[in-house]
Amino acid sequence: MSLLTKFLAVYSRKGLRGSYRVTKFLSHRLKSLQCVPIQTESGTLYADLRISSSRGILANPKSETGEDQVMRNFVKNGDVVFDIGAHLGYYTLLLSKVVGEKGKVIAFEPNPELLPSLKMTLESLPNVELFTIALSDRKGEINLFVPEDASMASLTDWTGGIAGKVHTIKCEMHRLDDLLTEGKLPIPEFIKCDVEGAELSIFKGAIKHLNQVSAPIVLFEINPLAAAAFGKTTADYFDFLESLEYPKYKFFEVSLDGIRELKSKEIEYANVVAVPEAKLHLCQGGLR
């Protein structure tokens, strides 16, 4: 990490006035700030500081969502896991470390603007394979709506201006069931799915493989604004997974200090882990 990058990291971490604007300004003018190595707990992440979420990681490279602990509790050495919505690769790095040499991480990221730095992050990880496609409940070509804060990119324009000006990029779209049935992907034990409201479409496109006793554990994001842009409510996510006959999914809310059983489908802005009945014994270490 260069002296300038170290300075910007400290400057941002202290929350000094103007730190966000200064870092943004410099990153749009200095190529050296468009692929910056940041040391996280799981390894080196290469970040483009033009992207606001990259600047957040530079300021604080430690996860503060509880998702990391869920992954450590539920994912085992040798597992196959899917990281749907890999974005910068922050959790891809962690999953790669947890599954080890005998495991496999399949990362999905359709935004080509993230790929230069993402590929650098992943190139030293032999147990990770990257698919540069979107997932949904049908196959075809679709627009990806990308705001200035690319972490809020989605298959619909849901941000309403809160994440900056939005532009569109064409991307390929596939169903997980097709890819799995055709043998293009291994069967996962764990899925992390963070796709800004498109989660339900992905679940529907994977119904054959989700509707099994041995279904994967699914960690997904609840975002009512993004869900509404798809014409859905967050309760629809739970209703669909509950409607599956065989896994008998139970839901837990994720927090920094563990997970707790979900009491209401009306929860807003949270991460939720859906655990099939056959794997509920794995919850014990994280319950609070």
Between 173 and 52, the higher pLDDT residue: 173
Mean pLDDT along residues 184-205: 97
Mean pLDDT along residues 149-168: 90
Kindly list the strands in the beta sheet with 134-135, ordered across the sheet, starting from the edge strand earlier in the chain: 134-135, 167-174, 140-146
What is the C-alpha separation between 223 and 220, in angstroms, rounded?
10
**Strand duo 80-84 + 190-193: pairing:** parallel
Closest by CA position to 108, among listed 126, 91, 94, 124: 91
Mean pLDDT along residues 169-173: 96
Q: Judge residue 43's burial from the number of C-beta atoms within 10 Å of its C-beta, 0-12 exposed, 13-18 middle, 19 or more buried.
A: middle
CA atoms within 13 A on the CB side of 233: 6
* Cα separations in angstroms, 69 against 38, 75, 165, 201: 20, 10, 34, 26
* pLDDT for 276: 97
* Three-class secondary structure of residue 84 per DSSP: strand
Superfamily, domain 67-283: Vaccinia Virus protein VP39 (3.40.50.150)
* Cα separations in angstroms, 223 against 8, 151, 158, 160: 31, 13, 10, 14
Domain-by-domain residue ranges, the chain? 3-59, 67-283
User: At a CB cut-off of 8 Å and minimum separation 6, what does 95 contact?
Assistant: 71, 75, 81, 83, 105, 192
pLDDT tens digits along 29-81: 898 888 899 999 999 999 999 888 888 888 888 877 899 999 999 999 999 99
- Angle subtended at Cα 193 by Cα 59 and Cα 174, rounded to the nearest 5 degrees: 125
Between 264 and 18, the higher pLDDT residue: 264
0.75 surpassed by pTM: yes
Q: Which of 40-54, 119-133, 180-194 has the lowest mean pLDDT?
A: 40-54
With residue 199 as reference, give the H or E element that holds it: helix 199-204
- DSSP secondary-structure letter at 22? H
For residues 59 and 81, is the Cβ–Cβ distance under 8 A? no
The pLDDT > 90 percentage for the chain reads: 72
Per-residue pLDDT at 288 exceeds 60: no
